[in-house]
Structure 1
C-alpha cells in the first residue's frame, strides 16, 4: 500500500477532525481525481473538481468553526477570479444555512439514509421478503467474507466490467459522489466480497463515517448481471452483523438525488423552479439517475434516519451548474 501523500494526510485529518456538518459522505473527499483548496490562514480544506466552466464542490468546507466562513469566502473569490461558476453539492443542513447566509441560492437536492445498528434485526414481517432473498442467495451457494481489495484487484475488475456492460452503449462509471477502490485511502475502507464456488459474483465497499453518527457508509457496490437474486442483500446483511459485533452505531446508505424531497426542508431564498425540477426528475429522471431503484434498495433496510442534502449556487440556481455536477461525476 503506498504511503499517503501530505495532501492525503491533510484531507484525512480534516474530515476526521472537522465533523460539525455531520456529512456521512465526507470520506469521498479522499477520492483520487479531487482537487484541494487551502489557505494558510485557515484550518481546513475544500474539496472540488474543475469541470468545464464550473468548480464543483463536495460538501461544505471541512474546516474548524472559526475558519469555515473565511475559507468559503476565499474559495468563492478564487472561482470568481478564474471567471468560473461555483456550485456545491451534498451540503448538510448546517452547511446549507451558512451558504444561504452568504447569498448562495440553496435548494434541497435529495437525501441520504441511515440505520442505527445496535437494535437492528431482520426479524419480523416487514423484512420477510428481504430474508427470503438472502436465503435464496445462500441456498445458491453464496459465501461472504471480508477481503483485502489489493489481493483481489483482477477479479474485482471482472465484476466491474460485467456490471458496466449492462449499462448501455459507451457506459461510464460514476465518480466523485461515489467511492472507489484502491489507492492510499483503501487502507481505511472495508470490502465484503460474495463468491459462489470460488467465483466472485459481487462486492460492497464501505467507507468510514465520522462525527456523532459515526459508523460505515454502504458505498460502491457491484455484481455480475447473471448472478443469483439476493446477492447484494446477503453481502450487506453479513457486513451488518460484523459491524454490530464490533459495536458500530450506524450504517449509512449514502446520498440519492431527487429523494426525500420536502418543501418544509427548503431554506428562505431557495429557487421554487429548481425545487420543481427536482420533483420532476424524481418522477421522470430515470435516464439521468435511477433514483427510484436506488431508494427502493435502501428502503428494504427500513432506515430510521433521513438526512436532507442540499445544493448551493453562487448566484442564481442554474441548469448549467446542475449539469456540471453530473459532468464532474462522469455521468456524461
Structure 2
C-alpha cells in the first residue's frame, strides 16, 4: 500500500488509461490529490481509496488487467480485514458491481452518470430554445469564453471558488474525492474554459479526460460568482462542445450524480431493498444532503443520450455508517 503523494501520478494515470474494462467515465478522479493507492507487488494495477476513521472508502473498481482483478480485490479486502477496517466502494460501474457481488459484497445502485455523443449533438430546434436564450443573454451581458492555461489563473480561480462557496452559506464546504480539482501534477491533462466579463473572471469549467469505449472529456469542476449573469455555465459548456467537436471528440460526459437514474432493472441480485428505498427517498427529499435534482436539471438541459448506472458496494451488509463515510471522504461534513 502506498500513497498517491509518494507515487508518481503518471503511474496511476497509466493504470487508469490502460485498464478501462469497466468504462468508468470518472476514472481520472483517481489522480486527485489526497487519494491513497493500494498496490500488490507483481500485479499490474491499482486501487484508489481514502481512509476516514475506521472506514476505507474506495473509488471505482480496481484499475488493473482482467487477470489481476480478482487477486487485487481479494488482497484489498484482506488488507481491510487485517486492519479491522470497514470497506465500502463507490462509483462502481456495472461490471465492477457484478464482480463485487460475486465476492460477497452487498451492491446497490447509488446513482448514474450522463453523457452526450458530440457528433450528433446540436442546439437547434425548439427543445433547446430556452438554453439558446440563456447562452445569448450571457454573451449580450459581455461574457467572453476562452480556453486558458489554468496555471496562469490560479489566483482568479481561487477568488471565484471563495465567492461561490460563500454564496452557499456558512456551513458549506468544498467537496473532494468524487469531485474534480485543478492544480497539482495532473493539471497538464485537464482543460479549463474560463468566462470573463470586462476582463474579470466570473466562471469556469474544468474538463477531465475520459478513457475507454466512450473516450472524450468530462464536464467536471465548475464554479461561478453568485448573482452574476444568467447562462454563464451554459455558454462556457457550449463553447467547449464546439471546440471538442472541431477536434473530433466523440463524447462529453457530465459525471456522476447520486440518487439519479434509479431503476429496478439496474439493481444487482442480492441488493439491499432498504438501501434501495433510501436512494429513492433521498432523490425526493435529500436536497440538504446533496442537490441531486438541481444537478440533474442542468445535465438534462443538454439532452444526454446515454445514462450509465453507478453502484455502491458494502463489504457485508449495507449500512448507514458506511454510506455516511462516503460523504465524509468527500469532505461534505
TM-score band, normalised by the shorter chain?
A: over 0.9
Tell me which residue corresponds to 1:279.
280
Tell me which residue corresponds to 1:27.
28
Distance in 1 between residues matched to 2:81 and 2:56, nearest whole Å: 10
Structure 1: segments with no counterpart, 5+ residues: none
SS at match of 2:239: helix
Distance in 2 between residues matched to 1:5 and 1:129, nearest whole Å: 48
Tell me which residue corresponds to 1:268.
269
**Superposed displacement of residue 6, structure 1:** 4.6
Tell me which residue corresponds to 1:168.
169
**Superposed displacement of residue 226, structure 1:** 1.6
**Superposed displacement of residue 41, structure 1:** 2.9
**Superposed displacement of residue 173, structure 1:** 0.0
Tell me which residue corresponds to 1:12.
13
Cα deviation, 1:51-90, whole Å, max 9, x if unaligned, reads 1111000000000000001000000110111111000000
Tell me which residue corresponds to 1:181.
182
Tell me which residue corresponds to 2:258.
257
Distance in 1 between residues matched to 2:144 and 2:240, nearest whole Å: 12
Cα deviation, 1:295-332, whole Å, max 9, x if unaligned, reads 00000000000000000000000000000000000000
Please identify runs of 4+ aligned residues in structure 1 that moved more than 3 A. none
Count of paired positions? 329
Tell me which residue corresponds to 1:236.
237
Distance in 2 between residues matched to 1:156 and 1:213, nearest whole Å: 29
Q: In the alignment, does 2:215 pair up with 1:214?
A: yes
Tell me which residue corresponds to 2:149.
148
**Superposed displacement of residue 167, structure 1:** 1.3
Distance in 1 between residues matched to 2:91 and 2:181, nearest whole Å: 17
Cα deviation, 1:93-144, whole Å, max 9, x if unaligned, reads 0000000011100000000000000111100110000000000000001000
Distance in 1 between residues matched to 2:248 and 2:119, nearest whole Å: 7
Distance in 2 between residues matched to 1:307 and 1:292, nearest whole Å: 17
Distance in 1 between residues matched to 2:271 and 2:17, nearest whole Å: 30
Aligned-residue Cα RMSD (Å) equals: 0.9
Tell me which residue corresponds to 1:328.
329
Tell me which residue corresponds to 2:127.
126
Cα deviation, 1:127-170, whole Å, max 9, x if unaligned, reads 00000000000000100000011100111111000000011113
Distance in 2 between residues matched to 1:243 and 1:10, nearest whole Å: 27
Distance in 1 between residues matched to 2:266 and 2:308, nearest whole Å: 10
Distance in 1 between residues matched to 2:265 and 2:6, nearest whole Å: 43
